[in-house]
Structure 1
Amino acid sequence: MSHMGRPKGNGYEAEFSLGPAAEHLSKLLGCSVEFPSHDCVDAETAAAVSAMKPGNVLLLENLRFHKAEKTGDASFAEKLASYGDLYVNDAFGTCHRAHASMVAVPRAMAGKPRVAGLLVEKEIEFLSDAVSNPRKPMVVILGGAKVSSKIGAIEHLLPKCDTMLIGGAMAYTFMRAKGEPTGTSLVEDEHVATAGRAMAAAKAAGVDLLLPIDHMVADKFDHGAPTRAEDRIPDDAVAVDIGPQTALEYARAIQGAKSVLWNGPMGIFEWPGADGGTRTVAEALVRATRAGAVTIVGGGDSAAALDSMGLSTDITHVSTGGGASVEMLEGKRFEAIEVLDTTNE
């Protein structure tokens, strides 16, 4: 059972059907995968499940065709739970959600085996265990658009790392806190004080928190706009990437690390002229991995950047979860994990 996309929850929507997934799964497994109905809890599906023989495979229709999936409805979960004798959660990307299939179904299957799948086990091993007891020195690289989306990760990871590198648009909120010019770049005014507190906390903890020392800027925020390197962001320009000197400084900081954690690109890597910082950092991670470091990329845009550069397989672990990976890096509890059996036997 699974889900795809964001259907309205009012019933079947053809564009979000898992029918094509059933067809492809049949090819991967080399056997027929039954797909009985466009409703995961109707009588037709229940009858098809009851008729299954050992070795049969059946895929349920998109769970999100029911609002009850996202609300964690217990009665909906009980219907799903009645289909199985064993529950395996291998959907790390939604482990931070209290959806019916993630929490209420395993609850309804109390007394039956409820375990983590191989992917979820690997994600926990790297994103939770490796962060709680990292090999030193540890470098944390945080990028992306907003400080507000990374506050929890900053606070959780600062006491654990030796060096923290800040890139992406979130760097300009930090720069504003230092009183440095940011031009027309994105700044979260309401989080300037937050950035200031983070820098003070890093100093108190003896952590090197590095900010960009130069920038790739454009005269307008537009795909394909010419970019140039500047030591300071002009008042009428927008920064779209860390500059070449910053990229080299960050690469040097990564060199010699025993563990590296990266979440968030250094710039708008999809744009020509704004991808250099992200590429330099990615290549530094590859070299660190080859030198024996444990390198972890926390999903989302960072993973997409690595994939676009063909470097995903050269990193120790690339997380499959976007929001889930960020919340795990924040040290948050996942009810979907806690409801599982404590040992997989």
Structure 2
Amino acid sequence: MKFLSKTKKVALKGKTVIVRIDLNVEPGRKLDSYRLKAVIPTIHFLRTRGARVVLMSHRGYPNLKPKNRLKSLATDWNFDKKNKELSLKPFVKVLSRKLKESVFFVPYEKSWLIDKKRFLAKQRESVFLFENLRFYWGEKTNDMRFAEFLAGWGDIYVNDAFPESHRKVASIAGVPKYLPSYAGFVLEREIENLGRVMKNPRRPVTLIMGGAKIVDKIDVIEYLWKKTDAVLLGGGPANTFFAAEGLPMGDSLVDVSAFPFIREYRDKGKIMLPVDSERFARADLERILDIGEVTMCWFADIIKNSETVIWNGPMGLFEKKGFEKGTIAIWKAIFALAKKNPKARIVVGGGETVASLRLLKTKNYKLKTKNLFISTGGGAMLDFLSGKKLPGIVALSKTGKR
């Protein structure tokens, strides 16, 4: 695999570089996301070395109606309200502001009709943003005709979309077959930091797993089990353990498919469950929505005495006022460990986990420390830490030479 950071200026000057990034932000949420900010250094690097940049991403799940798949990769669909909300056009202003140069938007309806190279050469802009890749039928199906179509927009391909690198789609797994390809700065950092805690972690090792489902985290727990000293559970994973024990969970989030895993691992001495909780009562339904104060203190103590910490998934429904305390407590323990122990290795990931950072007054905490890595990935992070081969990373080792 080749890394963009090791590429010489002469290899980039005058070239058009396709950069796959991740702008998958739900409508109504802040566009200036952590993932967007993370890719700016990659774009700056390319621009300062004389390259033009074509940015590509997907967003959400558009309503698509297939046209004639055999004759065309285009899609017959209407700009209904949902699809309009999923356009990437609103990101033009944000990117222009971050990059301090204008960004040209390439709309869906024109992308099929134009001579790509001539079109790019005529524009005064040097950074282009492609429309939502999921507006195209061939993206999700990893159609090689569509991958070749995308590759026609550039001379070089860079994958800087780690959050999507576990998906076998055309822009991730297909395009590298047609172009010389590189891992961008974001992807390189992810491989380095996640690889470090996975292959040779400093003990004691603590896994913290929350969020909605435990089934998404089972592979990580199993893969790292022998290297792990404690597994702290909150949210849906903890509720599922309690339900498997036969405890009444009311309307709490429970994942029945994980019961076989629980039966196998519950008595092995490493899994730590909340000893108290914050509940929300409504009529005859009762839901556990956060860990309680005793558990917060207990979990924080374990974290502060760890050498390696991996966290994915909030402790409760932090979006609802009154049930954010458990997640905040974990964040504070994480920052305390990072400050106290420079040799500790800490990895935090998952879209909701990172989003919960807004609950803290982050100016009081150092986000940029060598021992704390905030991953851009959710599912991709879990797959990587499970020892699985990510299609986006595998594709970079088998690139084209055009």
Both structures adopt the same fold (TM-score exceeding 0.5): yes
> What is the alpha-carbon distance in structure 2 between the residues aligned to residue 210 and residue 86 of structure 1?
48
Residue 46 (str. 1) matches residue 102 (str. 2): no
1:99 matched to 2:148? The reply is: no
Q: Considering only aligned residues, what root-mean-square deviation do their CA atoms show, in Å? A: 2.7
The 5 A counterparts of 1:160-239 are 160-200=227-267, 202-203=268-269, 208-220=270-282, 237-239=286-288
CA distance in 1 between counterparts of 2:124 and 2:195 reads 36
Q: Answer with 294-303 or 65-74: which moved more.
A: 294-303
Q: What's the CA shift for 1:179? A: 4.7
Determine what percentage of the aligned residue pairs are the same residue: 39
Pair 1:259-2:308 in alignment? yes
Report if aligned partners of 1:40, 1:62 keep a CA contact under 8 Å in 2: no
What SS class does the counterpart of residue 265 from structure 2 fall into? helix
Structure 2 stretches of 5 or more lacking a match?
1-55, 65-74
Deviation at 1:182, TM superposition (A): 3.7
Cα distance in 2 between the residues matched to 1:15 and 1:188: 32
For residue 273 of structure 1, the aligned residue among 322, 326, 335 is 322
The residue aligned with 1:30 is 100
Per-residue Cα deviation, 1:235-257 (whole angstroms, up to 9, x for no partner)? 96432211111111101111121
Number of equivalences: 322
Distance 2:171 2:275 in 1: 47
What is the distance in 1 between the residues matched to 2:253 and 2:96? Answer: 47
| Deviation by residue 1:20-77 (Cα, 9 ceiling, x = unmatched) | 3234333333333333443474232615455268982222222221111111110111
Q: Distance in 2 between matches of 1:42 and 1:285?
A: 49
How far apart, in 2, do the equivalents of 1:299 and 1:156 lie? 18
Are 1:309 and 2:371 counterparts?
no
Matching residue of 1:332:
388
Give structure 1 stretches of 5+ with no counterpart. Answer: 222-234
Q: 1:158 aligns with which of 220, 225, 236?
A: 225
- Counterparts in 2 of 1:242 and 1:339: CA distance versus 1, 3 Å: same
Distance (whole Å) between structure 2 residues aligned to residue 15 and residue 85 of structure 1:
31
CA distances 1:150-193 after superposition (whole Å, capped 9, x unpaired): 22122122222111111112212212334545454333334323
2:131 aligns with 61
Question: Aligned equivalents of 1:264 and 1:36: distance in 2?
Answer: 36
The match for 2:351 among 274, 296, 300 is: 300
Change (3 A) 1:176 1:65: closer
TM score, norm. by length of structure 2: 0.73
